Chains A and B, each alone.
Chain A
Amino acid sequence: MLVPILGLLAGLALGLLVSFQVPLTYVKYSAIAILAAVDTLLGGVRAQFEGRFDLRVFLSGFAVNTVFAAGLTALGDLLGLDIYLGAVVAFSIRIFNNIGFIRRDLISLVWKTAPLEAGET
C-alpha cells in the first residue's frame, strides 16, 4: 500500500514542479476527469482491501470513467445544460461510499475485528 501512496506524492510533486498548464478551455473537463480518477483510485484501494482487485476492471474503470465524465461535460456544454453536475454528484457519492468502506476495512485491519455491517457510514 506504500508504493501507490508514494506514487501519488510523486505525481503531485511532478504536477507542481512542471510548468504545464491545462488550457483554459479544458479546465472544466479536466476537473471532472480528476474527480473520476479519485473515485477510481479509492475504488481500487477498497477492492484491494476486500481482496477482489482486478487490474483490468481497475484500469478500464479509470480510463472509461475519466473520458466519459469529460465527454458528458462537453455534451452538457453543447446542450447548454449542466450535465457535469450529475457526474459530480455521482462521483462524490461513490467517493464518500468508498472512503467509508476503506475506513471500516482499515479499522478491522488494525483491531483485527470483523468489519461492521454495512448501512452505517
Chain B
Amino acid sequence: MMVRSWQIGLTAVAVVGGFVLAVQVRTEHLIETNLQVTSGRLGEVAYHYRQAEQRQAALRDRLAELRGQIADEEQQAAAGREATAALAASLSEMRTVAGLTPVHGPGVLVVISDSTRPLKPGEDPNLVLVHYSDVHAVVAVLFAGGAEAVAVNGERIVGTTGISCVGTTILANARRLAPPYQIEAIGNPHTLQAAATARGGILDELRAFDFPVTVAAQSDVQLPAYSGTFVHRFAMPLDTGR
C-alpha cells in the first residue's frame, strides 16, 4: 500500500500532539494535587512562596538572635549562681564564726568546782565558792590562748554572751550554771593548755585556794550552737559609703 503524504503528516502531528497533551495533563494534575491551584495561578503561588521565604529568613534571623540571648542569659545565670554560691559559703562561714552552728575539733576541757576546804568559823563563804568572775576569767584566758569556740556547761559563749551572777547563781546567755563548771574550748590543745595553766594565771590562783581544777587536752570536743538570739535594736550598721 502506498503511504500517502497526508497520512504521514497527520500521524506525525498526532503523535507529537498526543504526547504533549498527555505530558501537559499530567503536569497540570501534578500542580493541582501538590499546590491546590491551577497552572494559571502559579505566579501567585510563586509570589506567596517568595514572601514566605522572606518571612522565614526573618524568623531565622530572629531565632539566631534569640539563641544568642539565651546563651547570654545562661552565662549571666551561671555567674549569678556562682555569686549565690559564694554568698552562701560566706554566710555559712559567718554563721560558724558567730557560733550559730555546732562545731567540733581538738581542744581542752577545764573543770572547776567549789573549794573542798572546810570553812573556818567566822570565814566568808564566798572564799570557797566559784564566782562568775572566775568562770569569766577562765573563758577569757582560753579565748586569749587562741580558742575558736568555747562553751560553759554546754552553753556556747558568743560575742554578746555576758557572764554575770544573780545571788548565788552564775548566768551565761541568761542561763543558769551550776558547779562543777565544765569549760570546753576548741583550739590547739597544747596552746590552750599552756594558756590555762600559766603560772600566776587564774587556774593557778584557784588551786592556791584549794579549788579542784582539772585541765585535760581533748582529741575531739563537740560544742553546741548558740541557741539564743541576736538583738540589735540600737546598733545599726554604719554606712561606710561603699
Binding site for B on A (CB under 8 A): 3-16, 18, 20-22, 24, 27-28, 30-31, 33-34, 37-38, 40-41, 44-45, 47-48, 53, 55, 58-59, 62
Nearest-CB residue, chain B, relative to A47: B6
Produce 1/0 per residue, B2-20, CB < 8 A to A.
0001111111111111111
Min CB distance A45 to B, Å, is 7
Which residues, 36 to 76 on B, are CB-close (under 8 Å) to A? 39-40, 42
Task: Find out whether the CB atom of A27 lies under 8 angstroms from the CB atom of B31.
Answer: yes
- Would you mind naming 13 contact pairs between A and B with Cβ atoms under 8 Å apart? A7-B11, A9-B18, A11-B15, A15-B19, A22-B27, A24-B31, A24-B39, A27-B24, A37-B17, A37-B21, A44-B9, A53-B5, A55-B8
In the complex, which residues of chain A have a beta carbon less than 8 angstroms from the beta carbon of B27? 21-22, 24, 27, 30
* Cα of A14 to Cα of B20 in the assembled complex, Å: 9
In the complex, which residues of chain A have a beta carbon less than 8 angstroms from the beta carbon of B39? 24, 27-28, 31
Given contacts A48-B6, A55-B6, contact A41 B23 (CB under 8 A): no
Given contacts A8-B15, A27-B28, A27-B42, contact A37 B20 (CB under 8 A): yes
- Report the number of A-B residue pairs with Cβ-Cβ less than 8 Å: 121
Given contacts A7-B10, A44-B13, A59-B9, contact A14 B18 (CB under 8 A): yes
In the complex, which residues of chain B have a beta carbon less than 8 angstroms from the beta carbon of A15? 18-23, 25-26
- Whether B30 sits at the interface, judged by CB under 8 Å, is yes
In the complex, which residues of chain A have a beta carbon less than 8 angstroms from the beta carbon of B9? 44, 53, 55, 58-59
B contact patch SS: helix
In the complex, which residues of chain B have a beta carbon less than 8 angstroms from the beta carbon of A18? 23
The contact size tier of chain B is 20 to 34
* Cα of A62 to Cα of B18 in the assembled complex, Å: 13
Task: Find out whether the CB atom of B40 lies under 8 angstroms from the CB atom of A11.
Answer: no
Min CB distance B3 to A, Å, is 9
- CB contact between A38 and one of B17, B22, B42 (< 8 Å): that residue: B17
In the complex, which residues of chain A have a beta carbon less than 8 angstroms from the beta carbon of B40? 28
Please indicate which of the listed interface residues A8, A21, A38, A58 has the most CB atoms of chain B within 10 Å of its own CB: A8
Min CB distance B73 to A, Å, is 45
Produce 1/0 per residue, B221-234, CB < 8 A to A.
00000000000000
Min CB distance A56 to B, Å, is 9
* Cα of A93 to Cα of B88 in the assembled complex, Å: 92
In the complex, which residues of chain A have a beta carbon less than 8 angstroms from the beta carbon of B7? 3-4
Task: Find out whether the CB atom of A7 lies under 8 angstroms from the CB atom of B18.
Answer: yes
Q: A7-B15, A27-B39 are in contact. List 16 more A-B contacts (CB 8 A).
A: A4-B11, A7-B12, A8-B18, A11-B14, A11-B21, A15-B21, A21-B23, A21-B30, A27-B24, A27-B28, A30-B20, A30-B24, A44-B9, A44-B10, A55-B6, A55-B8
